[in-house]
Amino acid sequence: MLRVGIGYDIHRLVRHRKLVLGGVHMPFAKGLHAHSDGDVLLHALCDALLGAAGLGDIGIHFPNTDTRYKNISSLKLLEAVNCAILERGYKVSNIDSVLIADSPKISPYRNSIIKNISSTLKIKSAQVNIKATTSEGIGPIGSKAIASYAVALLLKVKRKH
């Protein structure tokens, strides 16, 4: 049995915050405004995985009103989501995602991002695809905010009797 889910997240760029995408700190003048570390890529991925498993969304599991999640690494959220989908009898087949950011350039960090995600989800790097694009200067996404989309495909795990 296959299950597919889609996720989306967006956060404003602000001064005095670290920029973290895919669990990688990127030297940049601004970071993403959020309750957690603001990692839009991992938030979109969490939503895609939760949706595919029929488990709601990231806001249900990690509400921004809960102080336990203040400035938390989104890799920890992704790890908890992976545990939840495994408990439901699913495993990740593959994920595909896109980041929308005019800057910084994502390509120098792409391999580190893939390694973080595949390691956290306990899957092969080949099962993780990360793409990046700009908004070509049209509108605030990419220049005043960074956004991400993610799609996840889950497989039902056969249980041994």
pLDDT tens per residue across span 85-96: 999 999 999 999
Q: Which of 84, 11, 20, 12 is nearest to 46 (CA)?
A: 84
Band of pLDDT at residue 119, cut at 50, 70 and 90: very high
Q: Which pTM value belongs to this model?
A: 0.95
CB 95 within 8 A of CB 44: no
CB 92 within 8 A of CB 154: yes
- pLDDT score for 160: 64
Kindly report the CATH number that applies to the domain delimited by 2-156: 3.30.1330.50
CA 86/CA 155 separation, integer angstroms: 10
pLDDT tens-digit profile of 125-151? 999 999 999 998 888 898 899 999 999
Helix (H, G, I), strand (E, B) or coil at 156: strand
- pLDDT score for 137: 84
Band of pLDDT at residue 152, cut at 50, 70 and 90: very high
- pLDDT score for 142: 82
Amino acid identity of residue 28, one-letter, is F
Q: Provide the mean pLDDT of the chain.
A: 95
